[in-house]
Structure 1
Amino acid sequence: MKNLSWFNKFVYGANVLVAIMSLVGYFLPFLAPKLFPLMSVFTLILPFFLIINLVFLFYWLIQLKRQIWLSIMILLLGITFINKFYKFTGRSEEVGENEFTLMSYNVRLFNLFNWIPDENIPQKIKEFVDLHDPDVVCFQEYSKNNNIKFSQYPYKYVTSHGNKIKTGQAIYSKYRIIDKGEINLPSSNNNVIFADILKGQDTIRVYSIHLQSISISPDIHENIDEAKSKMIVNRIAKAFKEQQGQSELIQSHMNDVSTPKIICGDMNNSAFSYVYRNIRGNLNDAFVEGGTGFGKTYDFSYYPMRIDYVFVDPRIHVKSFNTYSDFRNSDHFPLITRLELTKPNE
């Protein structure tokens, strides 16, 4: 420090502060939102601190200063967090005989209320599904209020709730569904559905989840003052507390399932959260296994938000994973992954 200029001393002080904040962020997935609701909101911006640490690293590298070791240490400690935020290399293995494809997509009621000024949105979504022709499709925010038929799927499970406006979820499958059900989430319009699909001689449990929304508009153009900022933070903190209870219900339900599991859908939370860690458990994140880039799943103007996921059982191999962020027919983007069951049911 003695050999640093006054400006570099200031920069290093900021570097230390960012490093401390990053370390705090690393512990947040282990802290329950019900106990630390406001701190849980910090998980949404943890990637910014990782990026700032990277900027500091290059700054000290250019000057060949030993202060670089602080950023190196922080980034090495957070390597698993970096992989959840950005993947430099993806995976695309050759097509095999025993594989299948799964698509997860929050369709926002097929644009029922014309959020997007295009009356052909339902047809465009159908054409997208027809083009990629996945074996299993999980829709969140599904609506029956359209004339779209997915006739290539002989098996389906659809739920709807509400009075005037019915919304729900749907699982479409080319494989026979031998069991199905729903997990009702207390005091919430959101829900979880599941279906046991029979592929060959093996049964796979597929969950489609839609957790409590944090109610952030994808397009924020209005001025946000201090009072509004506090309101938004408190709203997010409240949603994360509700999501904790919802994730615990899902985890309890999954613990009773011995067959290979796939969990997909809109979690409305980041990959650095307690809720992500709780639901994922010992499953693999398909994006981390086979994706590339930021994996942005929500059409938010100022930040690459990944809040939609596909988690797969260790007995299921991820052969490829794609996020179609150029397909803008909802506020979410569709996810498609190629999977292969590597071990038979026990």
Structure 2
Amino acid sequence: MLFFNVVLAITTLMAYLLPFLAPKWFPFLSVLTLFLPFFLVLNLLFFLYWFIQLKKYIFVSGLVLLLGITFINKFYNLQGTELPKSENDFTVMSYNVRLFNKFNWNQKANIPAQIAKLVEDKNPDILCIQEYSDFEKTRFSNYKYKQIFKEGKNIIVGNAIFSKFKIIDKGVINFPESNNNAVFADIVKDKDTIRVYSMHLQSIKISTEIGDEQIQKIDESKTKSIFRKISDAFTKQQEQALLLKAHFKDCEYKKIICGDMNNSAFSFVYRTIKGPMQDTFETNGSGFGKTYNFNYYPARIDYIFADKNIQIKSFETLNDFYNSDHFPLISRLEIK
């Protein structure tokens, strides 16, 4: 047991270091960041195991858990906070709509209309959409201002920003050798201008629905293929994250970054894009913050980041809205 505990502790410590190391240097090892929550849980179990036996080996996982305490609330928050509303509040929603079910992955009827109804009910002031498609029929007509970018030959897809506030500038960041991109809009809110991004980084392209039968059929060659696919995607995401960071680095406006990062909160990509900004889930979320409908694992790969001079007053992941492989995020904010 001590041997396995030490191996786990060393592996966990390696995973702690990976957010500070570029995936292109250690592409295969970067996959470990996906399993960090699992490692933390195992370390907790070992801690309890040695504690019950009153063994001195408790320090092995105890030290690992102490060193990783800042990682825990990126994965799970005990209770979200909601601050009182004021007339200066505004809401931001981010949602990967999976092409509005253009290819009928989901058998539910009228998914575009259901998504439009959700937006109408929640009525966010700023709406960021990833995997936006020309298939969407409602066009979110309640929004006067918009920034939409779509491209593709066989599949037309892109990102979009819809705003109730005036947009004075907008553009797109194309990622090389990829169908993914990010759009931005400079939005005037009262006396302030906010730079809003809607991003969609490189997809890993792993099936969201893995059943028990499929798990049993995964052999060594398939496992290597999956790991290679993930590590290649992480390397591309690194390039895309650095391009995005270079774009907003010198921006004089307050920033909000929304979208589908296709990576965990323990990754180099997350650390690069978030920087000193606030993660709205980490600040005001609750539970696991699951944003991606992946079986057996509460994956959080969609985010809303806000500058520190923007107060986060509430955050919610709408996990009961099953109309995509992602769940919508919504946050109430106030500029300070």
TM bucket (normalised to shorter chain) is: over 0.9
Residue 37 of structure 1 aligns to a residue in which SS?
Answer: coil
Give unpaired runs (5+ residues) of structure 1.
1-10
2-side partners of 1:227 and 1:71: how far apart? Answer: 32
Counterpart code for 2:271 = R
2-side partners of 1:21 and 1:301: how far apart? Answer: 24
1-side partners of 2:322 and 2:229: how far apart? Answer: 27
Residue equivalent to 1:213: 203
Partner residue of 1:302 out of 272, 284, 296: 296
1:151 offset after TM fit, Å? 2.1
1:13 offset after TM fit, Å? 2.0
2-side partners of 1:146 and 1:37: how far apart? Answer: 37
Deviations 1:314-333 (A, max 9, x none): 11111111111111100000
2-side partners of 1:226 and 1:69: how far apart? Answer: 35
1:288 aligns with 2:282: yes
Counterpart code for 1:203 = T
Counterpart code for 1:244 = Q
Q: Which has the larger Rg? A: 1
TM-score norm. by structure 2 comes to 0.97
Partner residue of 1:234 out of 216, 228, 239: 228
Partner residue of 2:165 out of 166, 172, 175: 175
Partner residue of 2:47 out of 48, 53, 57: 57
Partner residue of 1:185 out of 170, 175, 180: 175
Residue equivalent to 2:67: 77
1-side partners of 2:113 and 2:283: how far apart? Answer: 32
Question: 1:251-262 maps to which residues of 2 (within 5 A)?
Answer: 251-262=245-256
Counterpart code for 2:319 = S
Deviations 1:171-203 (A, max 9, x none): 011111111000010010000000011000100
| Root mean square deviation of aligned Cα | 1.0
Residue equivalent to 2:308: 314
1:116 offset after TM fit, Å? 0.4
1:145 aligns with 2:139: no
1:126 offset after TM fit, Å? 1.0
1:87 offset after TM fit, Å? 0.7
Residue equivalent to 2:85: 95
Residue equivalent to 2:263: 269
Residue 237 of structure 1 aligns to a residue in which SS?
Answer: helix
1:127 offset after TM fit, Å? 1.1
Higher deviation after alignment, 55-64 or 174-183 = 55-64
2-side partners of 1:38 and 1:317: how far apart? Answer: 38
Report percent identity of matched pairs.
Answer: 57
2-side partners of 1:189 and 1:146: how far apart? Answer: 19
2-side partners of 1:230 and 1:14: how far apart? Answer: 23
Counterpart code for 1:250 = L
2-side partners of 1:231 and 1:186: how far apart? Answer: 23
Give unpaired runs (5+ residues) of structure 2.
none
Counterpart code for 1:88 = L
1-side partners of 2:182 and 2:334: how far apart? Answer: 24
TM-score norm. by structure 1 comes to 0.94
1-side partners of 2:83 and 2:55: how far apart? Answer: 43
1-side partners of 2:135 and 2:6: how far apart? Answer: 54
